[in-house]
Structure formats: C-alpha cells, structure tokens
C-alpha cells in the first residue's frame, strides 16, 4: 500500500546561523517529522506561499493525504475579530493566514487533519471559533500551570480527562498524563467541532470533528513525549491511518 503523504505546515526560524546567514528558514520540528516516519507516513514541510491570493488551495491539497498543524507562536486575534490584549505573545500573521485557508480547503476536500498545541487553536479559528488570548488574564477558573517551563518539555505535568466514545478515547483511553506549554486555549468552538479532552480546571485540551474522524487535535505536545511514553505515538499512528483511508 502506498504510504500517505503528510504535509506539516512550516514555521520560520529568524535567527542567524552558520548555514542561514541573514536568511529566514522555513522549518518543521524534527520530533514531529520523526514521529510521522515512525507512524508510517512520509512527511513534507509546507511553507506559506508568497502570495495567498494567487494560491489555489484546493489544488494544493491534492498533493498530500494528511495535514498536520504543529505548535508555534500565538494566533493573531484579528483572525477571530479581537484586538490584541497586553499579554498576547508574538504572532506570525503570514502563517495564520496560510493555515486558516489551508485548513478550510483540507476540510472541504476530506483530508485527515491533526493539530498539536497551536494547531488545535488554528483549526478552531479556521472553523469560526475563538481563543483565550491569555489564560491567566481571561480565564477566571484557571487552577493549574499550563506553561510547564522550566520543567523539561518531554515530561508530563498534568492529567486530562477524555470524553467517552470519542476518537481520542479510542486512541489513548479516558485519561492521559500530558505535557503543557501554552498560554492560549480554545474558547468558543468552531463549526462542526466537539470537545474531547479537558484539564482539571476546565481548559479544553482536545477537540475533534463532531460527525466524523476527519479532525483530531490536542493541546499538548505528543511529539515531545512519544520516545519516552510510547502511547503518545498512537496519536500519530491514528493520523496516518486516517490519511491512508483516502486509498480505500
């Protein structure tokens, strides 16, 4: 059977290095790339195009089977019709614009979608939802630490409870001990989505499609954990299997 092509949207590395000189570099995290390989997919890194308006997103989605939206900077609140609050971190407008268009096209063309951290947020915004720009400033029931630094990112720090009979529960069960490095979070759900995991303080930690298994997204970082906690690799294996369904 043909291995599915997994598109991973790129972030931009802006610091000088020996190889890049003064140039920005489009990249995807190595741990995600290796997890996709380990799960049986073929990863490709998909940078934002120069001109969004000239991009045929339906044509673009024809070249891959699954879309993975990884972590990264904050989502620009202008995409959910809000002004930035003082606690907002750095944003990358070009990436937001690209991912929102790409997610919408991938949904319409039936591609498997997997979101990680910022990815869960971008998916929610692309489908009409919004976010807490900063949990400490905007979420009154905040009880636990969601930015685990300086604790190493490959170790879990808090539990999440997963909804019974959800796709996520089928993958990793009803409870999971996860890592956490975010200060934004899903607030009001986008169209066609349902909540599938929550932290003990009620912060949303997982969402998926309400009527299919097309979209699965989590707030934590399984790519940082799967080498020590193999159950987290199941998320990538499930994603690759969903992407394979295009050939059935």
The torsion angles phi and psi of 167, rounded to 5 degrees, stand at -60, -40
Name 129's Cβ contacts closer than 8 Å, sequence gap at least 6. Answer: 80, 186, 187, 188, 189, 190, 191, 193
Catalytic residue among 167, 205, 208, 223: 223
Examine the residue annotation and report whether 221 is marked as an active-site residue of this protein. yes
82 is catalytic: no
- CA 221 – CA 162 distance, rounded (Å): 16
> What span, in angstroms and rounded, lies between the C-alpha atoms of 165 and 60?
33
Residue 46 Ramachandran class (φ > 0 left, ψ -120 to 50 alpha, else beta): beta
Query: Would you call 101 a catalytic residue per the annotation?
Result: no
Hey, which bits of 75-203 come out as E strands?
A: 112-116, 131-132, 158-162, 175-178, 185-186, 193-199
Whose structure tokens read 């971190």? 89
Q: Of 117, 106, 33, whose CA–CA distance to 75 is shortest? A: 117
* Annotated catalytic residue within 99, 117, 167, 208: 117
Active site amino acids: 117, 221, 223
């Amino acid at each position: 059977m043909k291995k599915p092509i997994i598109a991973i949207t790129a972030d931009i590395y802006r610091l000088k290095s020996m190889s890049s000189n003064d140039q920005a570099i489009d990249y995807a995290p190595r741990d995600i790339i290796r997890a996709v390989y380990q799960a049986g997919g073929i990863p490709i890194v998909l940078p934002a195009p120069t001109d969004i308006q000239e991009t045929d997103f339906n044509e673009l989605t024809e070249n891959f089977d699954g879309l993975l939206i990884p972590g990264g900077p904050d989502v620009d609140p202008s995409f959910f019709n809000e002004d930035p609050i003082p606690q907002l971190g750095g944003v990358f407008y070009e990436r937001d614009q690209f991912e929102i268009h790409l997610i919408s096209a991938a949904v319409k063309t039936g591609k498997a979608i997997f979101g990680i951290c910022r990815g869960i947020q971008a998916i929610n915004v692309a489908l009409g939802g919004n976010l807490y720009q900063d949990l400490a400033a905007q979420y009154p029931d905040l009880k636990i630490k969601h930015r685990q630094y300086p604790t190493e990112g490959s170790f879990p720090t808090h539990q999440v409870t997963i909804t019974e009979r959800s796709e996520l529960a089928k993958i990793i069960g009803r409870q999971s001990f996860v890592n956490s490095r975010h200060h934004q979070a899903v607030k009001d759900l986008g169209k066609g989505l349902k909540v599938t995991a929550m932290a003990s303080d009620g912060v949303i930690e997982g969402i998926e499609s309400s009527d299919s298994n097309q979209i699965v997204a989590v707030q934590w970082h399984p790519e940082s954990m799967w080498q020590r906690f193999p159950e987290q690799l199941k998320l990538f294996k499930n994603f690759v299997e969903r992407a394979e369904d295009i050939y059935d």
